[in-house]
Structure 1
Amino acid sequence: MPFMAAGPDAAGALPDGGGGTTKLKVQPDKVLQLKRELEDVRDEVQTFLRNEAEGLKARPQGADPVSQDAAKAISENADTAIEVADAYVQRLTAVIDALDQAAKTYGLVEDTNTVDFRQRS
């Protein structure tokens, strides 16, 4: 498993969104893999929000009050979903940044660049 829940003294504490912290313990050889996977997820959610967020909102199907109220309720729910997804992207970015820092601490960035360079040669 590339990561697991860690005890209270573990490095890499991240805000949990509720005033506390969540801690991950990532095996050093899995840091870059996990970072790439989280970047892919973050990018996918960002792309969805950029391309589809406006389409989640409803437009009234008629001029009657029921259609107006239904469209308003659906749009409010869509706004909430968009806000939550945006917060998720921000949290993922914080985790990615922490993993990037861990990679630098472990000296993994240079190792990866060297391996990539050798593979391209």
Structure 2
Amino acid sequence: MPFVAAGPGAAGALPDGGGGTAKLKVQPDRVLDLKRELEDVRDEVRTFLRNEAEGLWVRPQGADPVSLDAAKTINENAQTAVEVAWAYVERLTNVIDALDHAAKTYGLVEDTNTTNLQQRS
């Protein structure tokens, strides 16, 4: 398997619900593949948040207390979801940056650029 979560609770979920650190072991020849995949996910979530997040909020269906309370609760949940999604984008960006650093350390960026130039010739 090219990507393996390592450490406690290694199924990819963080053991404490998000505040801790999980490690991901990646085979060196797959670093750039994983980086591209995570960039795609990050970009998709970020685009959704930029274009669609406002659509998550609702207006009360009526002036009665039940409608007002329901809209308030839905909007609070929407706000929390948007905040969590932005935090996810930030964490993905940090992982992508780390993978970029690893790729440079392994010399994979230069190898990929050389291969791409050779294929174009």
Task: Give the TM-score taking structure 1 as reference length.
Answer: 0.86
Deviation, structure 1 residue 119: 2.3
> Match for residue 99 of structure 2?
99
Q: 1:7 to 1:84 in 2, by over 3 A?
A: closer
Q: Sequence identity, in percent?
A: 82
Partner in structure 2 of residue 36 of structure 1: 36
TM-score, normalized by length of structure 2?
A: 0.86
Segments of 4+ moved more than 3 angstroms: none
Task: For structure 1, list consecutive stretches of 5 or more residues without a partner in the other structure.
Answer: 9-15
Measured in 2, the distance between the counterparts of 1:52 and 1:6 equals: 35
| Aligned partner of residue 21 in structure 1, secondary structure | coil
Q: Find the counterpart in structure 1 of residue 65 from structure 2.
A: 65
User: What is the identity, as a one-letter code, of the residue corresponding to 1:98?
Assistant: A
**What is the alpha-carbon distance in structure 2 between the residues aligned to residue 31 and residue 41 of structure 1?**
16
Residue type of the alignment partner of 2:110: E
Look up the SS of the partner of 2:22 in the other structure: strand
Match of 1:5, SS state, is strand
User: For residue 53 of structure 1, what is the aligned residue in structure 2?
Assistant: 53
Matched length: 113
Alpha-carbon separation, structure 1, partners of 2:63 and 2:6: 56
Q: For residue 27 of structure 2, what is the amino acid of its counterpart?
A: Q
Question: How far did residue 7 of structure 1 move?
Answer: 5.3
1:23 Cα offset (Å): 1.1
Instruction: Say what the alpha-carbon RMSD is for the aligned residues.
Output: 1.6
Alignment gaps of 5+ in structure 2:
9-15
User: What is the CA–CA distance in structure 2 between the aligned matches of 1:99 and 1:111, rounded to whole Å?
Assistant: 15
Deviation at 1:120, TM superposition (A): 2.6
The 3-state SS of whatever aligns with 2:25 is: strand
TM superposition shift of 1:105: 0.3
- The 1:6–1:66 alpha-carbon spacing in structure 2 relative to 1, beyond 3 Å, is closer
Counterpart AA for 1:118: Q
Return the alpha-carbon distance in structure 1 between the equivalents of residues 21 and 99 of structure 2.
16
What are the Cα deviations for residues 20-53 of structure 1, in whole angstroms up to 9, with x where unaligned?
A: 3211111000000000000000000000000110
